[in-house]
Amino acid sequence: MARAVSTRRKVFYTAAAWSVALLIFFPVFWTILTSFKTEASAVASPPQLFSADWTLDNYAEVWGRSDYPRFFWNSVVISVGSTLLGLIIAIPAAWSMAFVPGNRTKDLLMWMLSTKMMPAAAVLIPMYLIFQRTGLFDTRTGLVLALMLMNLPVIVWMLYTYFKEIPSEILEAARMDGASLGKEIIYVLTPMAIPGIASTMLLNIILAWNEAFWTITLTTVNAAPLSAFIASFSAPQGLFYAKLSAASTMAIAPILILGWFSQKQLVRGLTFGAVK
Amino acid sequence: MATQSSRAAARLMVAPSVIVLFIWMIVPLAMTIWFSFRLYRLLSPERTGWVGFRNYSWFFNSPDFWLAISNTLLLVGGVLAITIVLGVLIALLIDLPVWGQGPLRILVISPFFVMPPVAASIWENLFMHPQNGMFASFAQGLGMKPILFMESYPMSSVIFIVSWEWLPFATLILLTALQSLSSEQLEAAEMDGASAISRFRYIVLPHMTRAITVVILIQTIFLLGIFGEIFTTTQGGPGSASTTLPYMIYKQAVIAKDIGRAAAGGIIAVILANIVAYFLMRSMGKNLDA
């Protein structure tokens, strides 16, 4: 609904909008900035926007100490693994619901979403016990499974809304031209479905990377990802701000960058196609 | 185009998702119900047996329980109110003719991608810390005493942090809805002499109703389970001042190691979530008709 306005007004609007946006973004910016300071200037009062002694030591120290690479690698394996596994299970389901809808398809989708409303804390004990008994506790496999199940309804829903927009006339045309089911899937449907699958994948990697209940409660040491690492990163007296900031920056940077690329699909995806 | 065989194939394709979700829902739930009627403490595993509703009555008689319920509702309600009111205002602002709308969107959405423990930890330490936080520096600069955020205002601090995380989501969805509003309608209203406020009240707001509903639905699902932010900052304290229902269950299970009581709390949480979900689903069915 943008309308033509005078330049003076536009300057005013732009200044206002940018001020608000920068204010919202400021904590992220400040964390990144602090990660390059020395511990002394990180806690300087009044706060220093420009420090005299920029350094990369914090990154080196965090990376070298405390097994940071292992936490990082666990996060990668768990978020990517659970998303891929979820896609394998969800693609056929979403596909058939979009192209061969039955009377109950809508109910089924609603039921799937309702499983997400079960509070995770409510089933913490059974999950904990099952994981202990089956040897899945504190393993990456266990967390891949748990996060896959947690995000499966979202994956099915997102794929469903994307697949539904593929016109079924195209399928009929391909069939009339004598394409077999296999050819139909490989040459006609897949190319049209790939953008939807890609954005579903991106968003679910983000959700899984940022998950902070199962990743904290179902791990101790071996499989603990970055969420557990940061949650346990506590030391008083403020002598660790620069290192905390470096660790935080490393924890959020990959997802922040992925997120910037997929922000356009975020709205569509997370509202299950209800807002476009 | 649905023949008999393609119907059968379709069911087969849906089956894996339905089966794993069904197991994921029913097995832990059944176990939780079972444990909720049992005496089961990890610290004294030899004493077991049926205790009827004693685990439940412990919850209902605990003063912490009602505090946890009201904290949970306060958290959900507070964050929803803040994110929707500010979200509408910021969306209206960004939707104005401005330079650099793309970069603006990227700046505004960023907090959404920060994982909860990191968001909580940077707010707690870099900003709200009573000695070294930025707010404390400002307070000192103004000659005031620094505020003890996590000690004096634990719930408000948690609500503030969670609102910062979810404001981008609300803003972006409301902005998307706003951008699909036709400018002709607004111009026509303007020509007829409608003021900016009545244009907002009678044209813009009704257009955004659906988006606002969706924001409420999606955020509620996530907000009912908030855990990482509390775990990182207040640990539910001081005392039980910022303990929510999920956190209370966590404390019973992991710290008190009383599985029976934690399970009873879990069932109460499920019932509560179902009451909320019932109302959500009813409006969701209407709103999500893709």
- Using a CB-CB distance cutoff of 8 angstroms, which residues of chain A are in contact with residue B29? 118, 122-123, 126
Q: Scanning every residue of chain B, which has its alpha carbon at the shortest distance from the alpha carbon of A30? A: B126
Which residue is it, tokens 């536009």? A10
Q: What is the mean pLDDT of chain B?
A: 85
Q: How far is B228 from chain A (nearest CA, A)?
A: 5
Position A20: which residue type?
V
Nearest to B229 by CA among B138, B82, B121, B112: B121
B190-223 burial, b if ≥16 CB within 10 A, otherwise e? eeeebeeeebeeebbeebbebbbbbbbbbbbbbb
What pLDDT score was predicted for residue A238?
46
What is the rounded distance in angstroms from the CA atom of residue B108 to the CA atom of residue A165? 29
B21 in contact with A, Cβ within 8 Å = yes
Residue A74, helix vs strand vs coil? helix
What pLDDT score was predicted for residue A224?
87
Domain with CATH 1.10.3720.10 in chain A: 67-232
What is the rounded distance in angstroms from the CA atom of residue A23 to the CA atom of residue A29? 10
User: Is residue B130 predicted with pLDDT exceeding 90?
Assistant: no
Residue range B70-99: mean pLDDT, rounded: 92
pTM for the model stands at 0.88
Residues of chain A with pLDDT under 50: 1, 235-238
Among the partner residues A95, A272, A275, nearest to B177 by beta-carbon distance: A275
Residue range B144-148: mean pLDDT, rounded: 83
Asked whether the beta carbons of A262 and A206 are under 8 A apart, the reply is: yes
What is the rounded distance in angstroms from the CA atom of residue A119 to the CA atom of residue B270? 6
Is residue B184 one of the residues assigned to a domain?
A: yes
Asked whether the beta carbons of B229 and B158 are under 8 A apart, the reply is: yes
B139 in contact with A, Cβ within 8 Å = no
Whether B183 and A3 lie within 8 Å, measured CB to CB: yes
What is the rounded distance in angstroms from the CA atom of residue A16 to the CA atom of residue B90? 10
What pLDDT score was predicted for residue A181?
73
Domain of B104?
62-287
What pLDDT score was predicted for residue A194?
86
What pLDDT score was predicted for residue A236?
47
Whether A212 and B228 lie within 8 Å, measured CB to CB: yes
Which residue is it, tokens 């040897």? A135
Is residue B236 one of the residues assigned to a domain?
A: yes
Q: Which CATH number covers residue B225?
A: 1.10.3720.10
pLDDT in tens, B227-251: 888 988 888 778 888 889 889 988 8
Identify the DSSP state of B113. G
Supply B185's token pair.
């309608």
Position B287: which residue type?
N
- Using a CB-CB distance cutoff of 8 angstroms, which residues of chain B are in contact with residue A115? 21, 24-25
Among the partner residues B35, B127, B129, nearest to A238 by beta-carbon distance: B129
Quote the number of domains for chain B.
1
What pLDDT score was predicted for residue B272?
86
Residue B162's φ and ψ, nearest 5 degrees, are: -65, -35
Q: Which of A11, A108, A124, A184 to mutate to test the interface with B (most CBs of B within 10 A)?
A: A124
Is residue B49 one of the residues assigned to a domain?
A: no
Quick one: pLDDT band at residue B225, thresholds 50, 70, 90? confident
- A195 prior amide bond cis, ω within 30: no
User: Is residue B264 predicted with pLDDT exceeding 80?
Assistant: yes
Domain A67-232 has CATH 1.10.3720.10: yes
User: Is residue B283 predicted with pLDDT exceeding 70?
Assistant: no
Which residue is it, tokens 């907002």? B200
Q: Exposed (0-12), middle (13-18) or buried (19+): which is A103, by Cβ within 10 Å?
A: exposed
Q: Scanning every residue of chain A, which has its alpha carbon at the shortest distance from the alpha carbon of B283? A: A110
What pLDDT score was predicted for residue B83?
96
Least confident of B8-12, B14-18, B121-125, B215-219: B8-12
User: Is residue B54 predicted with pLDDT exceeding 50?
Assistant: yes
